[in-house]
């Protein structure tokens, strides 16, 4: 007789090799994380080496640098069930808190103030990024502790809403502070 957890020993149907499935999913997640890390490293190196700044020529390097990974990821997601499993295992709170990087908007505002960026770009883009970064923090913590409804961000099946309150009530931030809308 095997000792240990009955699920891991394969006593219950469909549970034999459960550790192997979790392990292979974890390995695939690590591989995907490594690929994304390499892409960011390549972007950093390309920026430092001015690969993306080629005045007087079409931005082919930028286009390829964006198009190839987006196409590759989309194809992997559509065609690969394992990729979808890995993506679906990412906690929503982690995806939400990843927007904290949008504090980079402070640089846009500073750029507009010192006239390094056009104010028509720097102010609206900068302030909207700052607001998104500020709001992602309480929302991510609320999601992590389970204090946010699961039908947020327009995923509600309760009906269609009209008027300016539609965006506000269906936004992720609003879902954490507002009661559920009533539909008659």
- Reduced to 3 states (helix: H, G, I; strand: E, B; else coil), residue 149 is coil
Q: According to the model, what pLDDT value does residue 7 have?
A: 42
In angstroms, how far is CA 130 from the centroid of its own chain?
Answer: 17
Structure tokens at 130: 């700052």
- Check: CB of residue 8 under 8 Å from CB of residue 15: yes
At 181, the pLDDT band (50, 70, 90 cuts) reads very low
pLDDT digits (tens, 9 = 90+) for 106-125: 999 999 999 999 999 999 99
Q: Which residues does 24 contact at the CB level (< 8 Å), separation at least 6? A: 82
Does the pTM exceed 0.75? no
Q: According to the model, what pLDDT value does residue 73 have?
A: 87
pLDDT digits (tens, 9 = 90+) for 63-93: 888 898 899 889 988 988 888 888 888 889 9
pLDDT digits (tens, 9 = 90+) for 122-173: 999 999 999 999 999 999 999 998 876 655 444 333 333 333 333 443 444 4
A 10 A CB-CB count for 109 gives 19
Instruction: Scan for tokens 């507002």, then name that residue.
Output: 178
CA–CA dist 101, 141 (Å, integer)? 16
Q: According to the model, what pLDDT value does residue 140 have?
A: 92
- Asked if pLDDT for residue 95 goes beyond 60, the answer is yes
- Asked if pLDDT for residue 102 goes beyond 90, the answer is yes
- Check: CB of residue 118 under 8 Å from CB of residue 112: yes
CA–CA dist 138, 120 (Å, integer)? 29
- Check: CB of residue 105 under 8 Å from CB of residue 128: yes
Structure tokens at 119: 């104010």
Q: According to the model, what pLDDT value does residue 139 have?
A: 93
Instruction: Scan for tokens 């394992």, then name that residue.
Output: 82
Q: What is the dihedral of CA 126, 129, 131, 133, to 10 degrees?
A: -140
């Amino acid at each position: 007789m095997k000792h240990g957890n009955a699920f891991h020993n394969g006593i219950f149907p469909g549970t034999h090799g459960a550790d192997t499935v979790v392990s292979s999913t974890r390995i695939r997640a690590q591989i995907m994380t490594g690929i994304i890390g390499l892409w960011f490293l390549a972007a950093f190196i390309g920026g430092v080496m001015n690969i993306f700044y080629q005045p007087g020529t079409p931005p082919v390097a930028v286009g390829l640098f964006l198009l190839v990974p987006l196409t590759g990821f989309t194809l992997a997601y559509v065609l690969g069930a394992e990729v979808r499993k890995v993506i679906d295992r990412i906690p929503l709170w982690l995806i939400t808190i990843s927007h904290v990087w949008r504090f980079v908007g402070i640089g846009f505002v500073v750029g507009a103030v010192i006239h390094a960026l056009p104010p028509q770009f720097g102010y609206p883009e900068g302030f909207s990024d700052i607001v998104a970064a500020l709001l992602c923090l309480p929302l991510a913590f609320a999601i992590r502790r389970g204090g946010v409804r699961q039908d947020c961000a327009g995923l509600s099946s309760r009906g269609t809403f009209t008027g300016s309150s539609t965006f506000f009530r269906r936004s992720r931030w609003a879902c954490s502070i507002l009661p559920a809308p009533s539909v008659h």
